[in-house]
Structure 1
Amino acid sequence: MLNSINTNPGALLALQNLNATNTELATTQSRINTGKKVANAKDNGAIWSMAKMQSASSSSLNAVKDSLQRGQSTIDVGLAAGDTITDLLMKMKEKALAASDTSLNSTSLKALKTDFDSLRDQITKAAQNAMFNGVSLVAATVKPLVFLANADGGSFTVMAQTMSLEGLGLTGTSTFNTATEAATMIADMTTALLTATNKLSALGTASVGLDTHLTFIGKLQDSLDAGVGNLVDADLAKESAKLQSLQTKQQLGVQALSIANQTPQTILSLFQG
């Protein structure tokens, strides 16, 4: 090998190896600090791009979950109102049945009529007040409600189930004044009660469907997040072991460079005699 004080091939090689080790060490330390093997586009452009797109899809599902949860609350309020209305209808039917007894005196009949009218008016109040965030599924004039279903803007539609007096086949003047009229009202109340229970059943079915879809969206989001993690997350156990190895390698590299730098000193000994 050429002995020269201008060029030290051994030192150059040792320096190259030490620089390579330092680069690997910096990469490993970055992965440990960030917890990611692909932290930016510079690390791996293709993987970083894929991960960003999947992360965007997962993040957008938060808006879908918020929309579906509002739907849950709106339906729950409607179901609560529906339960109240069916209870009122049952009591109204009971009052009408009691008033159909021809042996009642006028005072008793009038008291039953007053109770019946009060229960009827409560149905209107229950339907009008069954709102969540200004939205109702059971009020007098409502339309189907449309909620977000996916990250692409798809929709989940819940049909309105009007439970106002008109929606139940009754009116604000539905009442009785005689036992005969009360007997007729019994059939009307039976029909209204059947209508109310059918509409309540439809709301319940919609609620189950919305709950199921919300659960699916949650699982989908978890799967997307896990997929992103598989793409960019670092194996910290592996990186920790590698860190120990590289630190040892770095120390040896420094020693090798120090030894290589001492080589020109042997040339000086040739001039000493």
Structure 2
Amino acid sequence: MASILTNASAMTALQSLSATNKALQQTQGRISTGYRVADAADNAAYWSIATTMRSDNKANSVVQDALGLGAGKVDTAYTAMNNALDAVEKIKDKVLLAKTSSAEERAKIQSEIDTYVAQLKDSIGGASYAGSNLVYTKGGAGQPTEVSIISGYNRDSSGNVTTSSIDIAFGNIRLIDAAVTPPAAGTGILDKAGTASTKSILNIDVTNLTGVTGATESDQFDALLTDAEKALGSMADAAAELGAAKARIDMQKDFVSKLMDSIDRGVGQLVDADMNKESTKLQALQVQQQLGIQALSIANTNSQNILSLFKG
């Protein structure tokens, strides 16, 4: 039946063209954004997972920055520790030389020791990175007892978050306690009173052995040398702790970097569009759109054909 009120063919062609246009719009959107799932309307589950994982990756980026900052602090402290080891070695050698030297020679040796002590104070006091000095602390009440470097961000299936950290106790690596002034004893490796001589490394005076433990002058020098060796041992342990922390930070930085790449790949597999597939689909839909337009045009001409029936 031919009708001028209802054109079934045109309605069918229009529905088909609308569906093609909708699919074409979706494909063009995927090609322009690069996403198969750009928002929750595309796929709520995948979008939710991708959003959560992207949030975790942002947290991992902060962890990576914190590890970089911590690495700078530890590297600076490690450099200062090695420099201090060399200086204390030289001080110990000068004390040994002074043991069998004359008074005049000891005065010259003490001048060299004072130079090494000044160099120690300058290098240790200047071993600051981003306002933090791990080997030269103020000490006293209210001061932190350790440096804590965030190394991990963990979220369980319930959404509970925990963080991990790399901790270094200041008591193990502190060289000088700035809260005290020599000759008062501090809490650092170099400014605390020696157990054998009662003198700290920073207070050694080979020209005046007053207050140094020992029955004879030889015993007093031996006590100074004993404390120098103990200080070197403590510094070696501190350097080892810093070195271990540095190695752990480097490994964690590498792991976090690989973890972020892995998460990015996983998110991409969920939401990224296959550009080869979408470009092929685009061409097919463009052809379908053209055919749909032609089909609608043909369907609309049917109504025009009815007019010819009324022409005489």
TM normalised by structure 1 equals: 0.91
- Counterpart CA distance in 1 for 2:5 and 2:68 is 76
2:106–2:206 Cα contact (<8 Å) kept: no
1:188 to 220, 223, 227: 227
Residues 196-217 of structure 1, C-alpha deviations (whole Å, 9 max, x = no match) = 1111011100111111112111
1:175–1:185 Cα contact (<8 Å) kept: no
1:211 to 250, 255, 259: 250
Q: Which amino acid aligns with 1:163?
A: L
Q: Which amino acid aligns with 1:260?
A: A
1:67–1:148 Cα contact (<8 Å) kept: yes
Aligned partner of 2:301 in structure 1 is: 262
1:146–1:155 Cα contact (<8 Å) kept: no
Aligned partner of 2:54 in structure 1 is: 55
- Counterpart CA distance in 2 for 1:255 and 1:272 is 27
Residues 84-141 of structure 1, C-alpha deviations (whole Å, 9 max, x = no match) = 100101111221122122xx33222210112113212332333332221222221243
2:77–2:133 Cα contact (<8 Å) kept: yes
- Counterpart CA distance in 2 for 1:16 and 1:205 is 70
Do residues 113 (structure 1) and 110 (structure 2) align?
A: yes
* 1:171 CA displacement: 4.8
- Counterpart CA distance in 2 for 1:69 and 1:20 is 53
Report 1 or 2 for greater relative contact order, CA contacts < 8 Å, sequence distance ≥ 6.
Answer: 1
1:120–1:172 Cα contact (<8 Å) kept: yes
**Higher strand share goes to which structure?**
2
Q: Which runs of 5+ in 1 are unaligned?
A: none
Do residues 128 (structure 1) and 125 (structure 2) align?
A: yes
- Counterpart CA distance in 1 for 2:63 and 2:162 is 9
Aligned partner of 1:198 in structure 2 is: 237
Q: Which amino acid aligns with 1:149?
A: S
1:175 to 198, 205, 219: 205
Aligned partner of 2:269 in structure 1 is: 230
Q: Which amino acid aligns with 1:206?
A: A
- Counterpart CA distance in 1 for 2:203 and 2:289 is 93
- Counterpart CA distance in 1 for 2:189 and 2:164 is 26
- SS of aligned partner of 2:292: helix
- SS of aligned partner of 1:135: coil
**Higher helix share goes to which structure?**
1
* 1:221 CA displacement: 1.4
Q: Which amino acid aligns with 1:209?
A: R
* 1:183 CA displacement: 4.5
Aligned partner of 1:163 in structure 2 is: 175
Q: Which moved more, 1:143-152 or 1:215-224?
A: 143-152
TM normalised by structure 2 equals: 0.80
2:37–2:46 Cα contact (<8 Å) kept: yes
- SS of aligned partner of 1:41: coil
Q: Which amino acid aligns with 1:255?
A: Q
1:18–1:254 Cα contact (<8 Å) kept: yes
- Counterpart CA distance in 2 for 1:9 and 1:115 is 108
- Counterpart CA distance in 2 for 1:133 and 1:33 is 43
Q: Which moved more, 1:151-160 or 1:39-48?
A: 151-160
2:147 to 127, 145, 148: 145
- SS of aligned partner of 2:52: helix
Change (3 A) 1:94 1:171: closer
- Counterpart CA distance in 2 for 1:118 and 1:110 is 13
Aligned partner of 1:21 in structure 2 is: 20
Query: How large is the Cα RMSD of the aligned pairs?
Result: 2.0
- Report how many residues are paired: 270
1:41–1:49 Cα contact (<8 Å) kept: yes
Q: Which moved more, 1:232-241 or 1:174-183?
A: 174-183
* 1:61 CA displacement: 1.5
Do residues 88 (structure 1) and 87 (structure 2) align?
A: yes
1:28–1:239 Cα contact (<8 Å) kept: yes
- SS of aligned partner of 1:136: coil
- SS of aligned partner of 2:23: helix
Percentage identity across aligned positions? Answer: 36
1:11–1:257 Cα contact (<8 Å) kept: yes
* 1:255 CA displacement: 0.7
- Counterpart CA distance in 1 for 2:152 and 2:295 is 60
Residues 144-164 of structure 1, C-alpha deviations (whole Å, 9 max, x = no match) = 111222234513122321123
